[in-house]
Amino acid sequence: MTSLLPAGWATDPAVLDARRLDRSGFDPGGRPRAVVFAESADEVAEVLRIANADGTPVVTRGAGTGLSGGAVATDGSIVLDLSRMSRIVEISATDELAVVEPGVITSDLDRAAGRYGLRYAPDPASVAISTIGGNIATNAGGLRCAKYGVTRDSVLGLDVVLADGRRVGTGRRTVKGVAGYDLTALFVGSEGTLGVIVGATVRLRPAPVRTATLAAFFPDFVAATTAAAAVTAARLQPAIAELLDRVCLDAIDDADGTALRARGAAFLLVQTDGPGADVEMDAVRAVVEPLSGDVEVTTDPVRAEALLATRRAALPALERHGRVLIEDVAVPRSRMADAVAAIEKIGVRSGIRIATMAHAGDGNLHPILVLDHGRAFDEDVWTAAGEVFTAALDLGGTLTGEHGVGLLKRRWLVDELGPDVVDLQRELKAVFDPNAILNPGKKV
């Protein structure tokens, strides 16, 4: 069957091996039969026609930076690698949009937009290594979501190859439009299970003329969430509001020789942006300062980057201590302190070190389960992760805020959605992919 594939396929074991997994660390042991490095939508269509006729699973892949097993290869599958479709086709400064191929690295798009005083707002932590196609497939979030929304909010239209090789356009180049059901939103976050995204028209937004950044330390996490809640209660709208817990700060101190823990047991970083950044920051400072003995505010971009670096240092620091399972629950903002308390209890019960960082502006928590070096994701680990999911659901939240369901969270999906909605999802999947060739076993 591989002989039918378009140019640019490989069955070399080393090539297959390099495209078999993602960054979740999860390995179910499946081996793909080939990798196709598609260079055009026509090649994608050709692969899908062949696979669909044959019933061969197709696992679409960008940079493989996903954290939920969404791009992990099924046994016997064709891995459809889109990383070579990496052209920025158009940037329209007048219409504040870009047309891109799926393999464009997200920060490359942001940088290209910057030349026009624009930016691509969604900024997952992986922005420098992940592709826009992968971001769309998972509806990726990031730091700026509270103000600028998630990936879905920046996607105007998609160019999609369906399972049977037909190519369709969804959405439009206009900001508004209600002709037909919202297929664009259906494809965003569908994790390669409904079609293969071969192009996207995305919204660009004005790059902020100014930013102001606050960093504060607190005696405990509850005080830090209280401060974040006070910012919301003052009806302010920061672009970024990030929290780190004690375990994160300890890990950074260990790794980098800093003394953050001496300053507090929780860290809050808030950034305002836009023409009102300074005025808004004055108001942020006024509500945060009474709750923290250690507040710094800057409008200097270089100093702001240094403060943001503390947030960015957390994950690499934790990874030095062992293998990490990066979780991704979200709860209503009012329940963040409850969620962290529940996570701490799960850490104590399970004996697993759990660090928590959070996008405080939208209640999205990343509990990081840090396992001893060499320890697998054994059943005890999944039990602890399951308890985290259940805690989030009990607080009115979700088991995935921005990373996706992939392989890793499928068994908990029905707990969140209920059986009727899961049934509907499967019927929708069948409309787009009747032979179930597209990323089977993922998402639904």
Q: Which is nearer to its own copies, 112 or 370 (CB)?
A: 112
Cβ-based neighbours of 53, under 8 Å, separated by 6 or more: none
3-state helix, strand, coil in the chain (%, to 5): 35, 20, 40
Is 64 in contact with 27 (CB distance < 8 Å)? no
Which residues contact residue 324 at a Cβ distance below 8 angstroms, ignoring those fewer than 6 apart?
Answer: 25, 315, 318, 368, 369, 370, 371
CB of 121 to its own copies, least distance (A): 12
Contact 267, 216 (CB under 8 A): yes
For the bound state, the minimum distance from the C-beta of residue 196 to its own copies, rounded and expressed in Å, comes to: 15
Please list the residues that pair with 354 across neighbouring strands.
369
Name which of 110 and 362 has its Cβ closer to its own copies. Answer: 362
Q: In the complex with its own copies, which residue's Cβ is closer, 36 or 399?
A: 399
Minimum distance from CB of 330 to its own copies (Å)? Answer: 4
Of the two residues 176 and 373, which places its CB atom closer to its own copies in the complex? 176
Q: Three-state SS for 88? A: strand
Q: Which is nearer to its own copies, 4 or 93 (CB)?
A: 93
Cβ 396 to its own copies shortest distance, Å:
5
3-state secondary structure of 301: helix
- For 175: left if phi > 0, alpha if psi spans -120 to 50, otherwise beta; the answer is alpha
| Closer Cβ to its own copies, 37 or 148, answer by number | 148
In angstroms, what CA-CA distances link 305 with 80, 227, 258, 308, 378?
37, 22, 17, 5, 38
User: How far apart are CB 356 and its own copies at their closest, in Å?
Assistant: 16
Amino acid in position 210? R
Count Cβ neighbours within 10 Å for each residue of 35-60 and write b for 16 or more, e otherwise: bbbbbebebbbbbbbbbbeeebbbbb
Q: How far is the CB of 111 from its own copies (least distance, A)?
A: 16
Q: Which is nearer to its own copies, 265 or 437 (CB)?
A: 437
Q: How far is the CB of 202 from its own copies (least distance, A)?
A: 14
DSSP 333: G
CA 46 – CA 198 distance, rounded (Å): 13
Q: How far is the CB of 340 from its own copies (least distance, A)?
A: 15
In the complex with its own copies, which residue's Cβ is closer, 381 or 422? 422
Query: Minimal distance in Å, beta carbon 168 to its own copies?
Result: 5
In angstroms, rounded to a whole number, what is the distance separating the alpha carbons of residues 153 and 155? 6
Q: Is 262 exposed, middle or buried (0-12, 13-18, 19+ CB in 10 A)?
A: exposed
Nearer to its own copies among residue 64 and residue 142 (C-beta): 142
Q: Collapsing DSSP states into helix, strand and coil, what is residue 293?
A: coil
